[in-house]
Amino acid sequence: MELSVVQCTTDVAILDRIGRSRGYRVSCQDRVWLNAVLVTCGEAMKKRLMLVDDYVEVHETFERMIRLHGSWLVCGTVTGQSEALEAIIKERPDCVLVDLKLAEGDGISLIEEIRDLEDPQPRVIVRSGRSEREYRRLALMAGADQYICKAASNQQLLDTIRTVLSDDFVRPVHSLKLSFRERSVLLLIHQKKTEISDVLKVKPSTVDSYIERLKSKLGVESLDDLRRLMKELAPADPTIPLIGFGKDS
């Protein structure tokens, strides 16, 4: 359970009353010390968030929003892929919010690197100005747990973070880690095999091999099952609406 400043103040007051009932008085110095300890314990119990975005102004807005909300802590804000991976390894956040466009590198590659880390891995939310479904599909297949547009409201963002951080959250099957080529084949799965081979410049037999791998990894039995799964990755009415367009990211 998280301890708020109000709870800590109440605990100090209770301790003061107990002390008086036993004939001694809790000093002001003791009150300050205990309050600081309780606040520190409460902060340490909070889930930790990290933001990866190429706009510093977004960092400031995000930190202010999370601070006002009070339920979580921001343990880092970074702008590039390499810097982000180092910070994630060092800080071990519970959840990372990633933009697709970064000052150095890109969000998709960062997600893949995160999914290569040892457990426990952080939950990953992509927060991007791109509202096209193809970007959502690509992010989810790289290993993201959720995708939300920057045009979404602050409340939608807070609700998304809360859902992803909940103890009963189950990672969706489509966020399983896939190779670049497997993701490419899956993105094109509604096309004919010959068309896929032409686009990827590989033999049709190679496409067949990737399809078999995808069926095994995703736990489906047929090509039609894969195609149905792709529809589930970007439904007409997704859980988190893709609202409008933000900055090109």
- Residue-wise pLDDT for 38-47, tens only, equals 555 555 578 9
Q: Are residues 81 and 157 in the same domain?
A: yes
CATH (domain of 160)? 3.40.50.2300
Q: Which residues of 127-157 are buried (b: 16+ CB within 10 A; e: fewer)?
A: bbbbbeeebbbbbbbbbbbbbbbbbbeeeeb
Q: Are residues 161 and 59 in the same domain?
A: yes
- Residue range 229-245: mean pLDDT, rounded: 48
Last residue of a domain, one of 151, 177, 203: 177
Q: Are residues 79 and 163 in the same domain?
A: yes
Q: Are residues 52 and 140 in the same domain?
A: yes
Residue 236 lies in a domain: no
Q: Are residues 139 and 56 in the same domain?
A: yes
pLDDT tens-digit readout, 55-68? 999 999 999 999 99
Q: Are residues 218 and 157 in the same domain?
A: no
Q: Are residues 109 and 121 in the same domain?
A: yes
Q: Are residues 145 and 226 in the same domain?
A: no
Q: Are residues 107 and 156 in the same domain?
A: yes
Mapping DSSP onto H, E and C, the string for 11-60 reads HHHHHHHHHHHCCCCCCHHHHHHHHHHHHHHHHHCCEEEEEECCCHHHHH
CATH (domain of 210)? 1.10.10
Q: What pLDDT is recorded for position 21?
A: 60
Q: Are residues 173 and 185 in the same domain?
A: no
Number of domains in the chain: 3
Q: Which domain holds residue 172?
A: 46-177
- Residue range 116-128: mean pLDDT, rounded: 89
CA distance 22 to 24: 6
- Residue range 63-89: mean pLDDT, rounded: 94
pTM of the model: 0.62
C-alpha pair distances (Å), 53 with each of 57, 60, 81, 133, 135 = 9, 11, 9, 20, 16
Q: Are residues 100 and 195 in the same domain?
A: no
Percent of the chain with pLDDT over 90: 41
Residue 237 lies in a domain: no
Residue 246 lies in a domain: no
Name beta bridge partners: 51: 77, 97
Name beta bridge partners: 47: 72
